[in-house]
Every structure is written in structure tokens, then in C-alpha cells.
Structure 1
Amino acid sequence: MEPGRVYIDSGYRMYYDEGTKLTDGIPAGLESVLPEIWKQYPPEHPMITDFFAVIVFALWLVNFFGNGLVIVVFLVTKSLRTPTNMFIVNLAFSDLCMMTFMGPSVTVNAFISDHWIYGALFCQLYGFFGALFGTVSLLTMVVIGYDRYNVIVKGLSGTRITGCKAFFILLFIWIYVLAGSLPPLFGWGGFALDGLLITCSYDYYTYDWNKLSYCFYAFITHYLLPLILVLYYYGCIVKAVVQHERALKAQAKKMNVSSLRSGGNEDGQSAEMRICKVAITNVSLWFLAWTPYAVVFMFPLFGKLHWVTPLVSQLPIFFAKTASCFNPVVFALSHPKYREALSELCPCLGIREESAKGGDNKNPTPTIATTTA
């Protein structure tokens, strides 16, 4: 066998010479983005890379179709072109850009070679755009949480979001995230190859204060603070909804009726409780998708770089990308007007949503109609 080569027999068992490393065969031009840590590990089974490539391609298809529908439906449906729904379109746009930029390139890379084929510069750009679009999505989720909190919890005393305010909020998000994502391209921090050598992200793989200090900054500003804000907003929403439900039931009991809602029944479950469930779902998916990466991201800062193996570094990154596919599903399940518009534009999807009739459509419940977006 040739030194440094990996072989697979008919039973898909992997063989390689003693001393063969994961980084064998890496072009010299990638040394600037190749962490030393990967040079100590043996090769990973090539089918692991192929498996991830197929998963990423499938995620991209779901992302492209789902977020594309969200953008089209919200933009072509006049009743959905509201200031606060601009946040929904922005979230779908950033999610779509992230996976469209990353998904096909990773899939092609994985099936052509076992290492990065696009050069060091594109590795840095890949990491930069991943950080940019991913963080924009996270902060947009925070703004959506604030909008729902503003309407449900604050009610009439809340700040009204106009088209101009929504535009400047989104402009601020993009400028803020752009300013926070550029430093690794100019000397503070860095981007490097991840464990399977087919993706690039923040370089947290080296005990270097320049890089780790930026990682700490990114952890605080791009994950921890957004998480705290999201938990606060949705926590207040859940609390307000639960208290509202209790007040309605108590009043109904005093009046000796089964329900104060239209028709005298609960109609399965109240719109408020549906909002509550959607809020919990949003936070849970957000937390589950991004927390594994954030935890692994912090290992070196606590002196545990040896815990970061190629798969340990790669799995959370791929898992975090699934967050870009969750949002269209959540919107389709929680937004009646979106489902209604989607059923008209794409009847082949089999979605059935009846339009609101009569005067009730003109005066929907304030805490529900605005916030289910």
C-alpha cells in the first residue's frame, strides 16, 4: 500500500498504514487554516464524510424549499406585508443564504475529496459567511421574540413597530453582526478547518489568546446574550398566557358558564395556548440546535482542548445548521394567515386553512393576530 493512503475493502472496512494521519495529503496552501490539533488523529472513515454530505444536501433542499416559500408567500400576499413580518422575511432570507452558500459546496467537496478543495481564502470566507448569516438569524429570532413580547405582554402600552422602525432594526442587526464577524479576517481571531476537513468555522482549536479572546467575545455576544433575551421574552409570554387563561377560567366559573370564548366552548384549545406552545417550541429548537456548538466552542477556554476530536468538533456544526430548516415548519404550523395564503398559492401541498369570515376578520384578537407571525 502507498504510504498515507486509505483503503476500503468490499465490506466497507477501512485500512491504512501505521502512522497515517488525518491531514496526510493536505495541500501546502491550506497550512494557514489547518489547526495543529488535527495532525495527531488517524483518518476518519471516508463514508462518514459521505454521510454528512448527503445530510447537508438534504438539509439544503428542505431549507431552500421551506424558506423560499416563506419569502415568496410573505412578499406576494398583501395582508402579510406588515412591518413586523419583515422580521420573518429577514430570518428566512438569512437562513436561506447560509445553507445555499454552504450546502452545495460541502456536498461537492465531500464527494470529490476527503479534504478542503477550495483553498485557504475561500475557507476563511466560508467561515465568515457562516458566522454572518448564522448570527443574523439568531438576533432576528431575538427581535421576533421581542415583537411577540411587545404585543402579548405589553399590549396597548407596548411600542408600535412601524415599517420605518422595522427597517432600521434590521439594518442595525446586519451592521452589528457584520462588524462582529469581520475581525477574524483582519487579525483578531480566525477561521480554520473543522474536524472532517470539509468545512470551516471559528478557529477555537489553538491555545492562542488572540483567537480564544475573540471566541469568548463571540460566545457572549452571539450566543449567551441572545439566549438570555430569548428566554426572557418567551418566558414572559408563557407567564402572561397562563395568567390570562386562569383569569378567563375563573371568570367563567363565577358566571357559571363553561367558557367565555365565542360559541361558549374552548374550541379544542385557545389561540393563546397555541401561541404559548409555539413560544416553547421556538425556544426549545433554538436551544437544542445551537447549544451543543456553543458548549464545544468553549472547551479550549477551560483547558479542555483535548476533548475536541474531529467528530466532536464536526457534529455540533452540522447540528446547528438544522436550525435553518426548523423555522419554515414552525411558521407553517403556527401562522393561520400564512397557511391560508400557502394553501392558495400551492394547493398541491394539501394544506387546508379556512379564511376568517365576517367582522371577526377585521378585528382579530390583538394579542394573537400580530404575534403568530
Structure 2
Amino acid sequence: MAHEDIPQPEMNFSTEGNQVGKVLMPRIGYTILAIIMAIFCTASLVLNISVIMVTIKYRQLRHPINYSLVNLAIADLGVTLLGSLLTVETNAVGYFNLGRVGCVIEGFAVAFFGIAALCTIAVIAVDRVFVVCKPMGTLTFTPRQALAGIAVSWIWSLIWNTPPLFGWGSYQLEGVQTSCAPDWYSTDPVNMSYIISFFSFCFAIPFLTILVSYGYLLWTLRQVAKLGVAEGGTTSKAEVQVSRMVLVMVMAFLICWLPYAAFAMMVVANPGMYIDPVIATVPMYLTKTSTVYNPIIYIFMNKQFQECIIPFLCCGRNPWAIDKSLPETTNTSSSNSRKGQVSPA
């Protein structure tokens, strides 16, 4: 029974490109997908809940620059609870068994929380430009500004994910028919206009914001490094660290989101083209794995969160502590001094 093929049951919300009753993937394939998603769900729950809990526990983390990191964890939790966990269940049974209402709920939830997380990543990039590069001079980054950026990410996501609920676009089964998303397949002009708008405003704009922000950040650090060398100092180490961090962030963004966006645009640009459902499923699941990559990259590369979350996860111990031999007074003073600092990471 482990290798038994499962024919897709007939559903009245199939998209144009779906062939009702056709076996899309062997039973073992669905089982593997369920196991993979269960692993990622578990990791996402542990990491993102830990981020929220340590922020509540440690006062020094409640700095405006960290608000967006916590918001990212909340958005990722939404994707995990209302999207990835449901995908584990539907893959476990081998087909989408939640009905039309379940499809709309899952499709909307994943898109809503996913785009909110994507916009939050763009907000984080802008936040770091303001904190590190100070384009507005000595203007202080305030809680109001941080909360405004968070509000924009949620409102922007809500604006572009509610139209399918009212007829402009729709949420339909995708890939191997065990999850739902905006309908990329329909050739209806109204639906295609929504997909193009969705791609432009929910992927292209955040992506360009990230590129411009981190490009400006790296350029500023380069200028500071040149000035430091001219004055006999050196900032090359800090520049290399931040450059590496920025490269990881942009690469992770591209790996998680670019395949999905490219797939959607290919389908829209060539409505008659056929893409194997198994191949089409890969980019869809890559976006869901971002709920694990996000806390690792954006939070574990933040020294403030590192010093709090690692002991939290390791029962009070930090096996990666830099120097455990420092006197207690030195540790205390350095800890106090860090409370007022915000690293660009």
C-alpha cells in the first residue's frame, strides 16, 4: 500500500488545467512531502515561538529595530499554522480533503501571511538603512516609525489578497492538488489582470526595495571603510561581515521566492504551456520553507537575539559563547552597554 497510486477525487473547484481523476504522483510521493513539511513545520514553530517568547522575556530586545523581526516571526507562524500544517494533513491522506471553504481559507491565509512576511523583510531592509546609514541625519528611529512600517506590511498584504474573495482572481488547487493558492492557471482576462498586479505589487516592489536598501547600505559601508583607511583606521572586518550577511539575506530571498514568481509569470505569459504538477509543486513548497530560513537568517544573525535565544533553547547554556572566562563584572557591564546598542545585523 505504501506505493499505491492515489487518483485525485473529483472536486467542483478544479482549475482549467487540472485533469480530474488523473494520478498526479505515487502515494509514496505524497508521504515524502508530508514528512518534509512536518519537519519544516516543527522547526518553524520552535524557532518563531522562541523569538516571540524571548522578546517578551528580555527587555533589552524590545527595541524599535527589533519590532520587525518579531513581526516576521508572527507572519511566519501564520503561514505555518494555517498553511503548512494543513498541507501536512492533505499530503498525508494523498489529496485535498478540506473542501472549497478549506481551499479558500488555506489559500488566503498562506498568501496573506506570506506577503506580510515578504513586506516585513523589505521593511527590515529599510529599517537597517535608517539605523546604519542615517539618511535623515541624526533622526532617531522611534517606536512609532517601526510600528508604521509593520502596519504598512499588513495593510499592503490585506489589500492585495482580499480581491479573490470578491471575484477579482480566485484561490484554487495548485501543483499536485494538496494545497491552494491564487489561481495562476486561468486564462480569463480578469483573473490574469489580478495575477499580473499581484506579482508587480507583492513581489517586484518588495524585491526592488530590498535590493536598493541593501545596495545603499553596502555602498555606505564601503565609503566608511575608505574613510577609515584614509585616516589610518580599519573597518574592513565589519564591512566583510555585513556584506556576507546581506548576501545571505538576498540569496535566501531569491531561493524562496524567485522560483515561485517565475513559475507564476511563465504560466500567465504562456497560458497553453504544460508544466508537470510535480515540478510545479517545488517552488510552491520552497516559499513555505522560508518560515524556517527567516528566523535563522534575520534573527540568529542578530547578536542581541543570539545572546538571548540560544540560552533559551539550550536550557540556560550558550555553547557558542565567545568568552566564558571573563569576570562577572565585565560580563555585566558589557551586557548593560549592549542594551542601548543596535547592531546592523
TM normalised by structure 1 equals 0.82
Offset, 1:239: 1.6
Establish whether residue 58 from structure 1 lines up as the match of residue 39 from structure 2.
Answer: yes
Corresponding residue for residue 350 of structure 1: 319
Q: For 2:74 and 2:80, how far apart are their aligned partners in 1?
A: 10
Kept in 2, the 8 Å contact 1:339–1:352? The answer is no
Change (3 A) 1:215 1:159: farther
Match for 1:219 among 199, 204, 228?
199
Residues 250-283 of structure 1 show CA distances to partners (whole Å, capped at 9, x for unaligned) of 332xxxxxxx36xxxx8xx733432222122111
Structure 1 position 45 matched with structure 2 position 1: no
Q: CA deviation at 1:300?
A: 2.7
Q: Which amino acid aligns with 1:303?
A: N
- SS class of match (1:71): helix
- Identify which of 335, 345, 365 aligns with 2:302: 335
**1:174 Cα shift?**
1.4
Please say if residues 67 and 96 of structure 1, whose CA atoms lie closer than 8 Å, have aligned partners that are also in contact.
Answer: yes
Determine if contact 2:5/2:27 at 8 Å carries over to the other structure.
Answer: no
Matched, 1:89 2:70: yes
Do the aligned residues in 1 keep the contact of 2:5 with 2:26 (CA within 8 Å)? no
Looking at structure 2, the residues matched to 271 and 47 of structure 1 have their Cα atoms a distance apart, in angstroms, of: 48
What CA distance in whole angstroms lies between the structure 1 residues aligned with 2:334 and 2:74? 32
Structure 2 residue aligned with 1:233: 213
Q: Kindly tell me: are residues 179 and 101 of structure 1, through their superposed partners in 2, closer, same or farther at Cα, counting changes over 3 Å?
A: same
Any gaps of 5 or more consecutive residues in structure 2? none
Deviates more, 1:116-125 or 1:271-280: 271-280
Instruction: Compute the RMSD of aligned alpha carbons.
Output: 2.7
Asked if structure 1 preserves the Cα contact closer than 8 Å seen for 2:175 and 2:277, the reply is yes
**Which stretch shifts more, 342-351 or 278-287?**
342-351
Percent of residue pairs bearing the same amino acid type: 22
Is 1:73 aligned to residue 46 of structure 2?
no
8 Å Cα contact 1:296/1:308 also seen in 2: no
Aligned-partner Cα distance in 2 for 1:345–1:15: 44
Aligned partner (choices 86, 100, 105) of residue 105 of structure 1: 86
Alpha-carbon offset, residue 36 of structure 1: 2.6
**Partner residue of 1:310?**
277
Unaligned runs of 5+ in 1: 1-6, 17-21, 253-259
- Once the two structures are superposed, what CA deviation does each residue of 1:127-155 show, in whole Å capped at 9, x if it has no partner? 00011000000100111000111122226
2:80 is aligned with 1:132? no
Larger C-alpha radius of gyration, 1 or 2?
A: 1
* Matches of 1:358 and 1:115, distance apart in 2: 56
1:148 and 2:103 matched: no
Equivalent residue, structure 2, for 1:288: 255
Aligned-pair CA distance for 1:244: 2.0
Which residue, out of 163, 170, 178, partners 2:150? 170
CA displacement at 1:172 relative to structure 2: 2.8
Q: Is 1:369 paired with 2:336?
A: no
Alignment partners' CA distance in 2, 1:93 and 1:362: 28
Q: Give the superposition deviation at 1:218.
A: 0.6
Letter in 2 for 1:67: N
Give the number of aligned pairs: 337
Per-residue deviation, 1:71: 1.2
* 2:177 paired with 1:197: yes
Q: Does 1:31 align with 2:12?
A: yes
User: What is residue 290 of structure 2 aligned with on the other side?
Assistant: 323
Does the residue aligned with 2:89 lie in a helix, a strand or coil?
helix
Residues 45-54 or 127-136, more deviating: 45-54
Match in the other structure for 1:4: none
Q: Distance in 2 between matches of 1:142 and 1:61?
A: 26
Q: In structure 1, what is the Cα distance between the partners aligned to 2:49 and 2:272? A: 39
Task: State how far apart, in whole Å, the 1-side matches of 2:189 and 2:135 are.
Answer: 47
- Whether the 8 Å CA contact 2:90–2:179 is kept in 1: the answer is no
